[in-house]
Structure 1
Amino acid sequence: MKLFGPMYERTLRWARHRNATWLLAFLSFIEAIFFPIPPEVMLAPMCLSQPRRGFWFATISLASAMVGAVVGYYLGHYAWQVVQPLLGKLGMLESIEHGIEVVRAKSVESPWAVFWFLVLAGFSPIPMKVFTWASGIVGVPMLPFMLSMLVGRGKRLYLVAAAIRIGGERAERALHRYIEPIGWSVLVLMVGAAGWFLLRGHAA
């Protein structure tokens, strides 16, 4: 079943839209909250079509993602109790709560311990929204949270812009070709991470 390919194609159509810059900003914003497709897949063809503006597009995406991160943080902080019953019915609540405990443990250790954890997590394929919500639920201090989101998201966006500037169409084609296995690999990693948190909690 192809799930990520069709969403990727729609995102590519957005990249060719005359208001593509605004659509990139919107995608970057909602991806930090709930959307499953990262903004890099729209950023790449935009950088390819206008290589000299690639880093400008990356900056717009980063700024929008930071606003989305704040929204995701406060949704996690204030709406967590509302969504808990739904997650319980889906059988996801226990594993998510154990995941939250990892962030909480780092936060208790020190504000900058959670900062480095979130920065390193930004290098993983786990979506940004997982960490924005978890940080809000735990109550990670805003300064280390924002700095970790800035570093974690920024390096990915600017690396895409740089890769397209250097690799050109070949780099963009590779992203298009492998979007489906990449997408499913991310889902497998997320399920595996949830299982690890669950086992870790039972072993504690």
Structure 2
Amino acid sequence: MLRRLYDWTLAKAAGPGAERWLITISFADSSFFPVPPDVMQIPMSIARPERAIRYAAVSTVASVAGALLGYLIGSLLYQAIGVPLLDFYGYQDKFVAFAASIKANGFLWMLAFAFLPIPYKVATIAAGSVGLSIPVLIAASILGRGGRFFLVALVLRRFGAKAQELIDRYFNALALTATALFVGGFVVVKYAF
């Protein structure tokens, strides 16, 4: 089933509406959606390596905008939206300690969460709930998200065909590894505090 989804995504990645989906997923991932934008960016960059840098740029801009929405959820709508989202992801119990860490070391936490494949939405909501400086949030988001998306873009632009061969050959192992990293990110956040 994962293989069919991958093949379907590759086909859609070459289509005219793919960039709009990439923007939507990048925006939503930073504030409430559980699927990271890499799911679209990677196959799109493999299908069209000459556009990989553009895809990284639009992912970065949309992701930073989504981080601001996450911040607003934490700042203005914490009880109405933030608490139910955190309950959905199973983070509510540890959130207070995590939010205190964000307040004390906001830039470093936001940078780490933005770069790593862990749930950034929790960090953006926490940043809003403790009133982290918006310029700090934006700078960390640009550096972390941009660093991650442009690193992926440069690798795929340089090794696009070879990267696709490796993905095709080792698809099951890579899918399991990506899933483990994604789930591991949730576990780290949940039990780190």
Q: Does the TM-score normalized on the shorter chain lie above 0.5?
A: yes
Is the Cα–Cα contact under 8 Å of residues 47 and 54 in structure 1 kept in the other structure?
yes
Flag structure 2 segments of 5+ consecutive residues without an equivalent: none
1:33 corresponds to which of 21, 31, 44? 31
Match runs of 1:24-173 below 5 Å: 24-83=22-81, 84=83, 92-106=91-105, 114-172=106-164
- Output one character per residue of 1:44-98: Cα deviation in whole Å (capped at 9) or x when no partner: 2222222222111211111111111111110111121224378569864221222
CA deviation vs aligned residue, 1:118-151 (integer Å, no higher than 9, x gap): 2233333212212211111111011111010000
Superposed CA RMSD = 2.7
SS state at 2:109 partner: helix
Shift of 1:196: 2.5
* Structure 1 contact 5–180 (Cα < 8 Å) conserved: no
Residues 1:193 and 1:15: Cα distance change in structure 2 (over 3 Å): same
| Contact kept? 2:103, 2:130, Cα under 8 Å | yes
Among 175, 182, 187, the residue aligned to 1:179: 175
Preserved CA contact (<8 Å) 2:45 2:156: yes
**Contact conserved, 2:32 with 2:85, CA < 8 A, in 1?**
no
Following the alignment from structure 2 to structure 1, what is the Cα–Cα distance between the partners of residues 130 and 166? 38
Q: Percent identity?
A: 30
Relative distance call for 1:72 and 1:189 in structure 2 (3 A) is: closer
Which residue identity is paired with 2:65? V
CA distance in 1, matches of 2:26, 2:88: 30
Deviation at 1:157, TM superposition (A): 0.7
Q: Secondary structure at the match of 2:122?
A: helix
- Find out whether 1:194 has 2:190 as its counterpart: yes
Counterpart CA distance in 2 for 1:87 and 1:77 is: 14
Bigger shift: 13-22 or 125-134? 13-22
TM-score normalized by the length of structure 2:
0.82
Counterparts of 1:86 and 1:68, CA distance in 2: 15
| Deviation at residue 12 of structure 1 after TM alignment | 4.1
Partner-residue secondary structure (3-state), 1:122: helix
Counterpart-to-counterpart distance in 1, 2:25 and 2:38: 10
**CA separation of 1:94/1:26 partners in 2, compared to 1, >3 Å: closer, same or farther?**
same
